[in-house]
């Protein structure tokens, strides 16, 4: 009996080692279940995956001042701009600024966002698998930067008019159906912009076909084109295409 138990334990231990090696040898979105992603895996998803692009554009706009805020802060400890804008104001107008573009509607990005809310005593009622697999009616592209002043100075309708998805194989360009700003805790500064794009054409055909190799997000930021090229063939997880 003891030999049988010991043999079972050894087999189970070997399985754990094999599983660990298998997970460690692959990218997290192919090698691990979503609920096993750790901080390092999440970092890789958000910075080094096919669902994320970082591109630099030249800053052509003047930084914000307190006079630009819709509700000027009351004198005291809260007076002044947030630290991030304070730092960005130190950068020359002609300096380069990184913009991060996320294909946020994908299972992988949704899983990473949900998983990030779970560790370290965070939200424990999040069903990561369910949230990630929930059908999305539109593609969602999220744009973030340390300095979102151009979006602060123009509303969502303005930025709904100029961006597009350039689908190379079909040579079609699709405008966003809507744009939504996410703002800071005071509801003033824009922290990110979510661009919603249709998944189907007016005739019911997919806007991005399964054999598509390149899709470019293009958006003018104060006259400068922000471009981010995505490769759908590489946007794949354990369950198949994920975009």
Per-residue pLDDT tens for 135-185? 899 999 999 999 999 998 899 999 999 899 999 999 999 999 999 999 988
Q: What is the spatial distance between Cα 183 and Cα 189, in angstroms, rounded to a whole number? A: 5
- State the chain's mean pLDDT as an integer: 80
At 5, the pLDDT band (50, 70, 90 cuts) reads very low
User: What's the whole-model pTM score?
Assistant: 0.79
pLDDT tens for residues 103-149? 999 999 999 998 887 655 455 666 888 888 888 999 999 999 999 99
> Which residues contact residue 138 at a Cβ distance below 8 angstroms, ignoring those fewer than 6 apart?
105, 177, 196, 197, 198, 199
Max CA distance (Å), the chain: 79
Tally of residues, the chain? 243
Task: Give Cα separations from 130 to 133, 135, 140, 210, 241 (angstroms).
Answer: 5, 10, 18, 24, 17
Radius of gyration of the chain (CA): 22
At 33, the pLDDT band (50, 70, 90 cuts) reads confident
164 and 172 in contact (C-beta within 8 Å)? no
């Amino acid at each position: 009996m003891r030999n049988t138990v010991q043999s079972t334990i050894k087999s189970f231990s070997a399985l754990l080692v094999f599983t660990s090696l298998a997970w460690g040898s692959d990218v997290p979105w192919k090698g691990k279940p979503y609920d096993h992603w750790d901080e390092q895996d999440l970092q890789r998803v958000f910075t080094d995956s096919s669902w994320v692009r970082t591109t630099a554009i030249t800053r052509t706009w003047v930084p914000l001042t307190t006079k630009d805020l819709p509700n000027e802060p009351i004198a005291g400890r809260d007076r002044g701009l947030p630290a991030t804008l304070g730092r960005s104001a130190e950068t020359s107008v002609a300096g380069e600024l990184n913009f991060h573009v996320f294909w946020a509607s994908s299972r992988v990005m949704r899983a990473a966002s949900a998983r990030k809310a779970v560790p370290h005593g965070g939200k424990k009622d999040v069903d990561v698998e369910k949230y990630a697999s929930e059908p999305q009616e539109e593609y969602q592209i999220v744009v973030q930067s340390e300095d979102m002043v151009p979006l602060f100075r123009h509303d969502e309708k303005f930025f709904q008019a100029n961006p597009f998805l350039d689908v190379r194989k079909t040579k079609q360009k699709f405008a966003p159906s809507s744009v939504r700003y996410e703002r800071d805790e005071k509801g003033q500064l824009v922290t990110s912009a979510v661009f919603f794009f249709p998944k189907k054409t007016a005739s019911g055909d997919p806007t991005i076909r399964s054999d598509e190799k390149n899709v470019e997000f293009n958006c003018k930021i104060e006259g400068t084109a922000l471009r981010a090229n995505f490769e759908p063939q590489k946007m794949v997880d354990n369950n198949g295409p994920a975009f």
